[in-house]
Amino acid sequence: MAPIGKPAGWEAKRSQALALGLAPALVVLTVITLGPAVYLVVTSLTPLNLVNPQSALDFSHPLGNYRDALTDTRFLNSVWVQIELSVATVVLQIAAGLATALLLNAHSRFLEAIRTAFLIPMVLPPIVVAIIWKVIYTPDVSPVHRALAALGLPLASLIANADSAIWAIVVADSWEWFPFTMLMTLAALQMIPSEPIEAATIDGASRLQLFRYIVLPYIRPTLVVCALFRLIDSIKAFPLIYVLTNGGPGTATEVTNYYGFQQAFNFSYWGYGSAIATMMVAGVFMLSSIIGRLDQRLGDNA
Amino acid sequence: MTLLAIVLFPFLWMLQMSFRPNDDIMGYSVRFVPTMQNYLSLWTGNFPKSFANSVAVSSSSTVLSLLIGVPAAYALSRGRFRRRRAIAMWILATRMAPPIAFTIPFFLAYRYLHLIDTVAGLVIIYLTFNLALVIWMMQGFFNSVPRQLEEAAWIDGCTVWGTFRRIALPLAAPGLAATAVLCFILSWNDFFFALILTRTSAMTAPVAIVNFMQYEGWEWGKIAAAGTLVMLPVLVFTFLVRTYLVRGLTAGGLKE
């Protein structure tokens, strides 16, 4: 509704002016996101590589890369490693984030100051996080390894062992990202009305019962959204793997993202790398559409 | 408190390592003479140049994405566009997409455009995440600026963009500052794009650290010192704008 006293043409002029402000951003976004997306999908249909640059326009076997991927055991292994890593880190982060949020959820100056300190792992440059954990995991310099050795419990390097390497990454990644769940949960906790908690306390509910029947139902939607967000982001994990294990030992920590990176930039199989990236994008969008639907449902209930 | 100590222990350990003399890098004792030796040895290498590159790339990308993104956010907040929802989804999708999906096409295109290993090339690819972030965050901040003032200004004969500049923008200034800081941090923290798209002349600080590790052997003191320098600006900014930062870090996850 146009406010009274303005000519009708003014509203149209205003819309036009606003559209003019929006246009540059849309043009730039199209060039830097839609353009590359199309280019990626097109490249994924070709056998493009460094040895044969002419193959950029070779569409004789458009689905060849995808067919190869399905029989490539290294690719299938990377998908499995990815699932393991993602599920483990998300579970650990949610647990740690929820626990710290519950501990810090009180109104005191002191706790509020501490909360900011807990954010440090999340805002640190990922490469610094990787260095920090490289120090912790390298027996020669690690304070943990040396402390254990001094106690007579020497520990072999975790990242050099195929069975434990992935768990070493899980711990480091969860350390980096648990503050995200903590932040979101704290925000959700502060929106819980105080009446039901007071009523239950008067009725003699234990702290565990309080949490189980009152707090948890309130924050469950937030936890679900957190988990899905972290699930999507866990697919991007790169610096930790690059610095700590380089995908190894063998292919023990080679996640799909890392495998795609190697195919494209170490071996220069750009066509195959693009196919892997395209499948990753498809997977991510499927996960996001689940979030979108959940978000809507949660919004309707609220 | 104990929890905090445990959580921050790995971080503090690196910090103290950076001040230890090289012959005592493994030492446990709290009583050591702090030295700037590691930092000085960084100063003489290529590290200052990479650090300068990081500053240049991050600040240009921040300025550019604000210039393009802030008016767009204002338009989305004030105007009624039919495809609003589609635009919002598109912006969210950009945030979700794995970086490798951008890197391959950008790498191939940059080889033709001679943008590999240039500051400009990095600035452009950083727009892929910064622009979406600016539009997303600033739209929220503009939504919370009351419209009555703007309507008064229009009646007084101010143009749409005049109102934006004189009224909406100053009122959203704290949000603008927080958005700028977040853009800067995201670009500063990037490792993946810089690793692939730079070689020597446009190398950023995070990539330079990894190069120490791979080519100069394990000089832990130097690595720790470089890590400390790289995280310093991020930590300072975080504590300066922590309240608003929380909003940006959780952007998209919580309903505004």
Per-residue model confidence as pLDDT tens digits over B193-221: 999 999 888 889 999 888 887 776 667 88
A225 contacts on B by Cβ (under 8 Å)? 253
Is the pLDDT at A295 greater than 70? The verdict is no
Q: Is B97 helix (H, G, I), strand (E, B) or coil?
A: coil
- Determine whether the interchain pair B255/A299 forms a contact, defined as Cβ–Cβ distance below 8 Å: yes
B68 contacts on A by Cβ (under 8 Å)? 24-25, 28
Domain assignment present for residue A231? The answer is yes
Domain assignment present for residue A53? The answer is no
Is the pLDDT at B223 greater than 90? The verdict is no
- Determine whether the interchain pair B81/A239 forms a contact, defined as Cβ–Cβ distance below 8 Å: no
pLDDT of residue A2: 44
Q: What is the mean pLDDT of residues A247-269?
A: 87
- Determine whether the interchain pair A22/B72 forms a contact, defined as Cβ–Cβ distance below 8 Å: yes
Nearest chain A residue (CA) to B134: A25
Give how far A203 is from chain B: nearest CA, Å.
32
Domains of chain A: total: 1
Go through the domains of chain B in sequence order and give each one's CATH number: 46-249 (1.10.3720.10)
A114 contacts on B by Cβ (under 8 Å)? 1, 4
- Determine whether the interchain pair A281/B97 forms a contact, defined as Cβ–Cβ distance below 8 Å: yes
Domain assignment present for residue A23? The answer is no
Q: Which amino acid is at A174?
A: S
pLDDT of residue A301: 45
Residue scoring higher pLDDT (A262 or A155): A262
Residue scoring higher pLDDT (B18 or A77): A77
pLDDT class of B25 with cuts at 50, 70, 90: low
pLDDT of residue B254: 44
pLDDT of residue B124: 94
pLDDT of residue B256: 36
- Determine whether the interchain pair B96/A284 forms a contact, defined as Cβ–Cβ distance below 8 Å: yes
Over residues B47-79, the pLDDT tens digits come to 889 999 999 999 999 999 999 999 999 998 888
Domain harbouring A284, CATH code: 1.10.3720.10
Residue scoring higher pLDDT (B59 or B15): B59
A123 contacts on B by Cβ (under 8 Å)? 185, 234-235, 238, 245, 249
**Contact between A15 and B80 (Cβ < 8 Å):** yes
Give how far A81 is from chain B: nearest CA, Å.
17
**Contact between A189 and A101 (Cβ < 8 Å):** yes
Helices B173-189 and B119-143: angle between axes, nearest 10 degrees? 150
Print the SS3 string covering B147-212.
Answer: CHHHHHHHHCCCCHHHHHHHHHHHHCHHHHHHHHHHHHHHHHHCCHHHHHHCCCCCCCHHHHHHHH
pLDDT of residue B26: 61
All residues at 6 or more sequence positions from A246 whose CB lies less than 8 Å from its CB, including other chains: none
- Determine whether the interchain pair A184/B102 forms a contact, defined as Cβ–Cβ distance below 8 Å: no
In 3D space, the residue among A215, A237, A190, A209 whose CA is nearest the CA of residue A93 turns out to be A237
pLDDT class of A246 with cuts at 50, 70, 90: confident
φ, ψ dihedrals at A62, nearest 5°: -55, -35
Q: Would you state the structure tokens that stand for residue A88, as one six-digit string?
A: 């483990």
Q: How many CB atoms lie within 10 A of CB B138?
A: 25
Q: What is the mean pLDDT of residues A133-156?
A: 80
In 3D space, the residue among A242, A180, A185 whose CA is nearest the CA of residue A211 turns out to be A185
In 3D space, the residue among A244, A57, A21 whose CA is nearest the CA of residue A138 turns out to be A244
Q: Which DSSP state fits A6?
A: S
Return mean pLDDT, chain B.
83
Over residues A67-81, the pLDDT tens digits come to 888 888 889 999 999
For residues B136 and B72, give the distance between their C-alpha atoms in angstroms, rounded to a whole number: 10
Q: Give the number of A-B residue pairs with CB atoms closer than 8 Å.
A: 235
Is the pLDDT at A154 greater than 80? The verdict is no
Domain assignment present for residue A220? The answer is yes
With DSSP H G I counted as helix, E B as strand and the rest as coil, what are the percentages for chain B, rounded to 5?
75, 0, 25
pLDDT class of A299 with cuts at 50, 70, 90: low
pLDDT class of A50 with cuts at 50, 70, 90: confident
- Is it true that the peptide bond before B98 is cis, omega within 30 degrees of 0? no
Block residue for tokens 């309130």: A218
pLDDT of residue A297: 65
pLDDT of residue A57: 74
Q: What is the mean pLDDT of residues B219-228?
A: 85
Domain assignment present for residue A295? The answer is yes
In 3D space, the residue among B168, B67, B182, B88 whose CA is nearest the CA of residue A25 turns out to be B67
pLDDT of residue A296: 65
Domain assignment present for residue A135? The answer is yes
Over residues B119-176, the pLDDT tens digits come to 999 999 999 989 988 998 888 888 888 888 888 888 887 888 888 888 888 888 888 8
- A203 lies in which domain range? 43-48+60-301
Q: Which amino acid is at A92?
A: L
B210 contacts on A by Cβ (under 8 Å)? 127, 242-243
pLDDT class of A65 with cuts at 50, 70, 90: confident
For residues B66 and B63, give the distance between their C-alpha atoms in angstroms, rounded to a whole number: 5
Write the burial class of residue B43 (CB in 10 Å: 0-12 exposed, 13-18 middle, 19+ buried): exposed
For residues B12 and A60, give the distance between their C-alpha atoms in angstroms, rounded to a whole number: 57
pLDDT of residue B255: 42
Domain assignment present for residue A31? The answer is no
Give how far A69 is from chain B: nearest CA, Å.
17
Vertex B216: Cα angle to B212 and B219 (nearest 5): 75
When mean pLDDT is compared across A111-115, A129-133, B133-137, the lowest value belongs to A111-115
Is the pLDDT at A131 greater than 60? The verdict is yes
Nearest to B104 among A124, A132, A270 (CB): A270
Nearest chain B residue (CA) to A14: B160
Over residues A182-233, the pLDDT tens digits come to 988 888 888 888 888 888 888 888 888 888 888 888 888 888 888 888 888 8
Domain assignment present for residue A20? The answer is no
**Residues, chain A:** 302
- ipTM entry: 0.85
Q: Computed from CA positions of residues A129, B193, B58, A116, in that sequence, does the dihedral angle turn out positive or negative?
A: negative
Q: How many CB atoms lie within 10 A of CB A245?
A: 24
pLDDT class of A17 with cuts at 50, 70, 90: confident
Is the pLDDT at A302 greater than 50? The verdict is no
B76 contacts on A by Cβ (under 8 Å)? 22
Nearest chain B residue (CA) to A283: B97
pLDDT of residue B87: 81
Q: Is A58 helix (H, G, I), strand (E, B) or coil?
A: coil
- Determine whether the interchain pair B108/A43 forms a contact, defined as Cβ–Cβ distance below 8 Å: yes
Nearest chain B residue (CA) to A12: B79
For residues A128 and A87, give the distance between their C-alpha atoms in angstroms, rounded to a whole number: 24
